Amino acid sequence: MVAVLEFVKKNKFLLGLFILSTAFFLYQHHANLSWDFSSYVENAKYFLNQGSYYEHYRPPLMPVIISTLSIFSWQLAEYLYIIIVVVLFLYSSIRFAKAANINKELFYLFSLSPYVLIYGLINGTELLSLALLQLFLAFAFEKKVYSGLFLGLASLARYNFLTFIPLLLLSKNIKKILQNIFLFGLSFVPWFLYNFYSTGNLFTAIVDGYAFNFKYRDYIVQQVNYLHILAVVFTLLPVFIFGVCAILIKVRKDLEKNKHIIMFVVALLAIYSYYITPFKDIRYIFPLVLPVSYFAVIGISKIREKSKQAFKILIIAVILLNIFTIIYIDYNSMYEKKDKYKAAIEVTKNLGIDNCRTLSNSWVFLNYLGKISEPYPRKELTLKNLDEGNFLLLFYPIEEPDWAKDKTFIQQLPVIHKENDFTIFGVMKKCNKIQKVDQTQISRIYNYVFFTYNISINTNPCFVMFEKNSILEKSCNFLNFKGFNLDTNRES
């Protein structure tokens, strides 16, 4: 008890920030319905055979944690997960700051920027993956042989952290590099085995993610949005620039120089990961938070050496700007509410179609709230789906699908219920019974291509991922006990 009180006394500032940020994250989750968070919860339920909706392309770490916490109830598990991640982030920030020889209070303060508070846990995995990356680097700086394990875990929280694999080569000791690579790979083994058991291929989930986010999204390649990068820096911009300039002009110690170079590499890899992703969402640049906070601490520390008065003014300015930003953001334009989805579910019950197969442009929210639903169909297959006894539930003003804006086409569909927020289409005399929704994204594309163009594309994950490299494709098939062979069907 004495030790705890002593820790609290010495870390009042850190604990104050921790309490405030935790309260914000918990309230944010309570007030908002998040697409990604809902999907991860559904995956967690599926793992325990308590759910009927599953997305293969989602990384497993968050669902595994939530499914473990579900012994306290599913609803409480979500809030416990948030608390655990915030605790882990605090610990990783302290550990990283110590290993990097920078001020832990300043680093934690700068890490809890408005950008981090808004996007860190709204979707569930950003802050978790960042905390694990910080632990990986902290342990690497401390020359711990198990550091690679934490990069593996970060990648199992968000696959885009695979971009940081080159950091496994940090050590000058070949033995330690091999140990890091081995532990990194070892972290994926349970996930690969689960995929093989459930789908017959070790790499189904990762390849499905690649297909969904890269291969079949090349038609929506977006340009880099520099406002996304600016959002990460934002309130730290002056001290961040000062820190980078101070490092470039003069570095005092070799050890520090190595760490500075590593943090520059982390920044470049974070930007590269964002750059190669076709769809540029603001949260895809999230790993940049780490090097930005690091360089900002370096900058403010240099300023403190020259002027304590300037240091105090800048710290107060950062804190006030953070507070004003959080207060004045229009959350209504960013966050979703449950009301209209619950209302729609109630209507399906009143119409007697709640046990009928339903397709929607808000299928994840409906599944999360208890109504088993599937993604909306392609335009060419919409009438066919309705004729078969499926129902279509479209919510407004959601932008997708594009064909929902085609008034001529929409007028051809049979309407059975219409409100300001949603419309239900279908044929009341037919009811195709609900079923588990656990197809891969690749399978969905296969069905669309087959029924629309009568072409049978290859859905083997080894082909989808490595069709342009025969050696890798053969090796992948071999690992999945299909022989060292190329697939005969080359349609993609």
Please give the pLDDT value at position 260.
Answer: 87
When pLDDT is averaged across residues 147-153 and rounded to a whole number, the result is 96
Which residue, among 209, 208, 197, has the nearest Cα to 481 in the 3D structure? 197
Decide if pLDDT at 3 tops 70: no
Does the pLDDT value for residue 464 go beyond 50?
yes
Instruction: Write out pLDDT tens, residues 273-309.
Output: 999 888 889 999 999 999 999 999 999 998 998 888 9
Whole-angstrom distance, CA of residue 64 vs CA of residue 45 = 9
Q: Which amino acid is at 259?
A: K
Q: Which two tokens stand for residue 19?
A: 């309490």
Q: Is the peptide bond before 397 cis (omega within 30 degrees of 0)?
A: yes
- Segment 313-317 mean pLDDT: 90
Indicate the SS3 state at residue 416: strand
Q: Quick one: the chain helix, strand, coil %, rounded to 5? A: 70, 5, 25
Q: Tell me the pLDDT band of 254, cut-offs 50, 70 and 90.
A: very low
pLDDT bracket for residue 129 (50, 70, 90): very high
Q: Who has greater pLDDT, 165 or 453?
A: 165
Residue that is written with structure tokens 């342990």 in the block: 139
Model-level pTM? 0.93
Give residue 257's pLDDT.
62
Residue 258's CB: how many other CB atoms inside 10 A? 14
pLDDT band of residue 367 (cuts 50, 70, 90) is very high
What whole-number distance in Å separates Cα of residue 112 and Cα of residue 270? 18
Percent of the chain with pLDDT over 90: 64
In the predicted structure, residue 330 carries a pLDDT above the cut 80: no
pLDDT at 401 over 60: yes
- What percent of the chain lies above the pLDDT cut of 70? 96
pLDDT of 360 reads 95
Residue written as token pair 């399978």? 443
What is the rounded average pLDDT for all residues in the chain?
Answer: 91
Q: What pLDDT band is residue 171 in, cutting at 50, 70 and 90?
A: confident
Buried b (16+ CB within 10 A) or exposed e, 390-422: bbbbbbeeeeebeebeeeeeeeeeeebbeeeeb
178-220: per-residue pLDDT in tens?
A: 999 999 999 999 999 999 999 999 999 999 998 888 877 766 6
Check the CA dihedral 24-109-119-184 and report its sign.
Answer: negative
Is residue 401 reached through a cis peptide bond, with omega within 30 degrees of 0 on the bond before it? yes
pLDDT > 70? residue 253: no
Count CB atoms within 10 A of the CB of residue 144: 18
| Residue 381: Cβ within 10 Å count | 16
pLDDT of residue 381: 87
Nearest-10 crossing angle of helices 289-306, 308-328: 140
Q: Which pLDDT score, from 0 to 100, does residue 399 have?
A: 74
Query: Is the predicted pLDDT of residue 42 greater than 60, yes or no?
Result: yes
pLDDT of amino acid 255: 44
User: What pLDDT does residue 250 have?
Assistant: 65
**Using 50, 70 and 90 to split pLDDT, how confident is the model at 230?**
very high
